[in-house]
Amino acid sequence: MSIRAAVVALACCVATSSPAWASEPAAGRATAGETRTLPGGAVVTFSKDAKYEVGKPIKLQLSATGSDKTPVQVIRLSAGRASVTIPESKKPKTAVLIQAPRKVSAVAKGGQSLVIVAADRVSVAAVKGEMLAALGNDWKPLPSGIVRSHGAGTSTDQAVPAAPKLHVEESLLLALTGTASTKLRAQAQDVAYRKLALSRVDGAKRTPLREQEWRSDAHQLPELEPGRYEVTARAVDRFGVESVASEPLTVRVIGATLPDGARLSEGAILLGRSGRVRLIGAEGLEASYGKASLFIPVPADVGLARGDSTLLRLRAPGAKEELRIRLEPRTLKADVEIGPKSARWPTDPLQVTVKLFDHRGRPITEALKIKPQVFVNVGQVEPTWTHTGNTYTTKVAPAVGMGPWVVRVEVTDDFGDSAGRDFIELGSAATASAQ
């Protein structure tokens, strides 16, 4: 059956018969803001503000002449929007007739169709797949990809908005201290606004996090914790018709679990020689080191290469964009001074000064996990230390007795490795005076 014949048949049917709900009780009044699967398999999604009734089905000749008539579900939509999804077929097994105010009617018979009832107009959109649409009894085909809007005494045809084309400034983000964000951009479009959807992806599970309107060509994403995320958007035209969703963009936020004793400094991870960092959110990425061109699947944890400074490079498989993470040896150097060198016991106390530096000679101001240790001969003493900036100071009281004495000061890093030491040999004041 030709499109023209189907239109004529439909016009006759609708013109000569009253709406199903006019002659019989409505088949059911459903609550708004829901999705319903109608007999025959059509899936209809209503907006939260939708007002509608489901009427008695009718049959129409939508296929070739001589074939069986197609069961058509009938919906009367008085407000809001109804989106209809039906598998496309040359011989439709079901269709949906939507009757709206302003004498507007539409038949969805395959693909994705949309009817919007606003206060000042009614719009019909063949988002994907052809529809039939009418103003009064003037039925016309509505080609796929076209919006027809009726209002203020005029009818307007325009294309369904195209899906936005998105990109992010950075798809790999580093969040070693909490969260990270990047800017999302869209290719310019003549649309009213876009709808943004952000989801977190954990394996096969997708958890919606945020949906919001987006009215410019650039948008700052919210602060994101380590993990994998997907961003999509839909363009919305002046009639409220939405495009299909854009291709999803993946954003990775890489975090890390640091081993005991490791810390962050100026964007680098400072590690002990045998320390290992477990990456968070890096599943499925590739890794390389230094300037190497070979990438391998990212390991579960990473560390220093031969105990030296290491540059870790991450990327999505085959991508050009890279995320770089610097791993540095956490080398603590302690300059220890004990004086005065002329001290004699038990007369003169000793002044001990310990200054801390990293492997690049920069002062380390963080407190030591283990304070410097002081030994007099083989016994340990515990003086009171003062910590200011990168410097520890203390005084060691003289020991009693004749001596001689050896006073040692030892400093270890957070991993228990030696960072510095010094010692002084002391004689007694009595022996010095006798000489």
pLDDT reported for residue 104: 96
In the DSSP assignment, the letter for residue 5 is H
Q: Is 8 helix (H, G, I), strand (E, B) or coil?
A: helix
CB 279 within 8 A of CB 285: no
In the DSSP assignment, the letter for residue 368 is P
pLDDT reported for residue 31: 53
CATH 2.60.120.1440 fits 3-159, yes or no: yes
Class of the CATH domain delimited by 166-252: mainly beta
| Whole-structure pTM value | 0.73
In the DSSP assignment, the letter for residue 34 is -
Q: Is 384 helix (H, G, I), strand (E, B) or coil?
A: coil
Distance CA 14, CA 206 (A): 44
Burial (CB count within 10 angstroms: exposed 0-12, middle 13-18, buried 19+), residue 245: middle
Establish how many alpha carbons lie within 13 A of residue 58's alpha carbon, considering only the half-sphere containing its beta carbon: 23
Low-confidence ranges of the chain (pLDDT < 70): 1-32, 63-64, 66, 429-435
Per-domain residue ranges of the chain = 3-159, 166-252, 258-329, 333-434
Topology alike, domains 166-252 and 333-434: yes
pLDDT digits (tens, 9 = 90+) for 5-57: 454 455 445 443 334 443 334 444 445 578 999 999 999 999 999 999 999 99
pLDDT reported for residue 322: 97
pLDDT reported for residue 32: 52
| DSSP state letters, 256-321 | EEPPTT-EEETTEEEE-TT-EEEEES-TT-EEEETT----EEPPSEEE-BTTB-EEEEEESTT-S-
Distance CA 398, CA 299 (A): 55
Fold of 333-434: Immunoglobulin-like (2.60.40)
